[in-house]
Chain A
Amino acid sequence: MSSRSVRWFAAAAMTFGLAFVYIPLAVILINSFNVSTVFAWPPRGFTTRWWSSAIGNDSIRQAVVTSVQVGLIATAAALVMGTLLAFALGRYTFFGRHTVSLLVVLPIALPGIVTALAFRTAFRTILGIELSIWTVAVAHATFCMVVVYNNVVARLRRMGTSPEEASMDLGANTFTTFRLVTFPLLRGALLAGALLAFGLSFDEIVVTLFTAPPGVTTLPIWIFQNLSRPNQAPVVNVVAAVLVVASVIPIYLSQRLAGDTTAGGRV
């Protein structure tokens, strides 16, 4: 687009947008040094005691480990389900196809509390099973499926069927084709979908609150419990600040991978 006014307007929006996005994050960072436990602004004084408290804190480490465990299980299940669905819906036409695609979106589109209550009632009341880390993972996988599905279906569409057909013409059967031809082509989309799904699960609070037993404390639950304790609330800010910084690597990775799979561009 060569028009100056359009470029100027877009650049202005971007600048304002980035400021909008990062000012609250700056507030979080500043408040992690704020002397006040009630986040009085402007800060009366600064202290590093929240940071030193966070470093020695065992419950944070435990919460992160639990979150990672849940995330890995949920992502693995979401990868399998999402890919199966992407192949089914992306490659075949059958009656009810659109209803199924609606069904896939439903877990993430319906209000979290509805999904959470539905799962809790199902697990506890109807199936009568105890809540455990697996119930949390099952619930997470259900709404993480759709992000994997989206990425894979988009990739399949761009890929077309010719590589697979060529492979089969050369004598490979379905499974070998998938292993040697399709899967390598899908890797980027799968990884991008997996990272997104993991991120979704890692930060999820509502459904987790309803499907987790007392012993399972994911990081969002830890944050939820500690934001209401006056001497712990600033420590939560420390945790958030660290999370943001630590997340740069997976984000950059996912962007490189997703960037490879989005075609078009400046054609």
Chain B
Amino acid sequence: MMRKRGLGIATFGAVAALLLSACGTSASTGAAASGPAKAKPPALKALSALGPGEGAINILAWAGYAEDGSNDKTVDWVHPFEKATGCQAKVQVADTSDAMFEKMGTGDFDVVSASGDSSLRMIYAGKVAPVNTSLLTNYNDVPAWQRMQNWNSVDGVAYGMPHGWGAQLLAYRTDKVQPAPTSWSVVYDPSSPYKGKITDYDSPTDGIGAAAVYLMATKPALGIKNPYALDQTQFDAAIALLRAQHPQVASYWSGYADAQKALENGSTLVGSTWQIIINLAKADKSPVESVLPTEGATAWADTWMIDAKSPHPNCAYLWMNWITKPDVQAQVAEWFGEAPANVKACALTVDKTHCDTYHATDETYFKKLWFWSTPQTDCLDGRTNVTCIPYSKWTEAWSSVKNG
């Protein structure tokens, strides 16, 4: 009898679940199968004219992009924005691209600083709306080779305002890692002297992509032309490289403060990094340095995008114009350690060599980097004779690698 009641609850639950899942699951808007060649992003309208600010804005940003003085009193470009536009800003920091992807499209946020590994997914899922470039006051100050790229535009429609970009560099402790490394082999070679002290950025796109970049140089026979366009053989090779690396990895970092702490305290000595980590560690008098290895690197280019259901579109455009104007760009670029999209900022940086260090105006350098993009079954390098591994499999594989 007791079992009968238990069975009753279970049956009820199962029926409820089936009913709920029938009416509940998030509808996929438009793209039913694979990528851009077959499907189009949903037709959404960009704002036609800029009206007065709505008085509030919700910003979803990477840590370090929307500083309001609470981290360092001298680093604040949010309060001046609020004063100038009247849009009271609520900033939330997202720790991964996946988290950003999940939070957009609901109207909870107005703008997001999307990296290339989530921006295209957001576009195709209808989570972000196209932008009206005539309303973006700084749009034309961004070099043409950063606009209308495959991570921030589709079929000639622009979906965001470029913010800045940077490469995934190789960080190392100058006192413990000698000679200074010039190649990624120091983290991938099983005989590396720094095994057990290696770190890697915790992201499927970057982790597997970086492995593929390394294989492009060390195993050219695999024929990898784009690290985000991997067929089964190439993908398996990249995963095998990562599995071999896994036992030597001390930790995978996702928050830059954790990476900084690990480097400074010596639990990691070498590995993938962002320049801001190096800047902060150096400010703490820690002996660290970064280098772009000879094989090349993966890189990120961030774009401010506007939520399809944004409740404050005018403030959103006001923010996008604010954060990309030359003086604010100079501040952000120096704080975070990236190349500003608006090259007019180069004249305004405190360190006059900033833009040179980050190659902000160097188109050749930019084109050598492999900017994050979303892997799809339609190969990004244009191959039609094979299908490439899509992003959902990348996340599964990355989980599996990290399990050891």
Residues of A within 8 A of B258 (CB): 228
* Number of chain B interface residues as a range: 35 or more
Known contacts A38-B260, A103-B9; decide if A232 and B2 are in contact (CB<8 Å). no
Q: A124 CA to B24 CA in the complex, in Å?
A: 9
Known contacts A95-B4, A99-B5, A125-B24: A59-B70 contact under CB 8 Å: yes
Q: Which residues of B contact A77 (CB under 8 A)?
A: none
Interface of A (DSSP majority class):
loop
Residues 212-231 of A, flagged 1 when their CB comes within 8 A of B and 0 if not, give 01110000000001011111
Contact with A along B62-87 (1 / 0, CB 8 A): 01000000111000000000000000
Taking A38-B284, A214-B90, A214-B108 as contacts, is the C-beta distance between A98 and B261 under 8 angstroms?
Answer: no
Q: Is A39 an interface residue (CB 8 A)?
A: yes
Of B9, B93, B106, B284, which one neighbours A124 at CB under 8 angstroms?
B106
- The residue from B5, B23, B260, B265 contacting A96, defined by CB atoms under 8 A apart: B5
| Bound-state Cα–Cα, A103 to B39, Å | 45
A182 interfacial by beta-carbon distance below 8 Å = no
Contact partner, A230, options B2, B108, B257, Cβ 8 Å: B257
Asked whether B284 lies within 8 Å of A125 as measured between CB atoms, the reply is: no
Q: Is A126 an interface residue (CB 8 A)?
A: yes
Residues of A within 8 A of B261 (CB): 38-39, 230
Q: Which residues of A are found within 8 Å of B4, using beta-carbon distances? A: 95-96
CA distance A105 to B255 in the complex (A): 34
Q: How far is the CA of A36 from the CA of B4 in the complex (A)?
A: 62
Q: CA–CA, A262 to B163, complex, Å?
A: 62
Cα A77 to Cα B9 with chains together (Å):
23
Task: A80 to B57: give the CA distance in the assembly, Å.
Answer: 38
Pick from A126, A131, A228: contact of B24, CB under 8 Å: A126
Would you call B236 an interface residue if the criterion is a C-beta within 8 Å of the partner chain's C-beta atoms?
no
Q: What size tier do the contact residues of chain A reach?
A: 20 to 34
- Determine the residue in chain B with the shortest Cβ distance to A41: B265
Binding site for A on B (CB under 8 A): 1-2, 4-6, 8-9, 20, 23-26, 58, 60, 63, 70-72, 90, 92-93, 95, 106, 108-109, 255-258, 260-261, 264-265, 280, 284
Sample of 16 more A-B contacts, CB < 8 Å, known A96-B8, A99-B2, A126-B20: A36-B284, A38-B260, A38-B265, A95-B1, A95-B2, A103-B9, A125-B24, A213-B108, A214-B92, A215-B58, A228-B255, A228-B256, A229-B71, A230-B280, A231-B72, A233-B257
Point out residues on A near B: beta carbons under 8 Å.
36-40, 57, 59, 95-99, 103, 121, 124-126, 130-131, 213-215, 225, 227-233
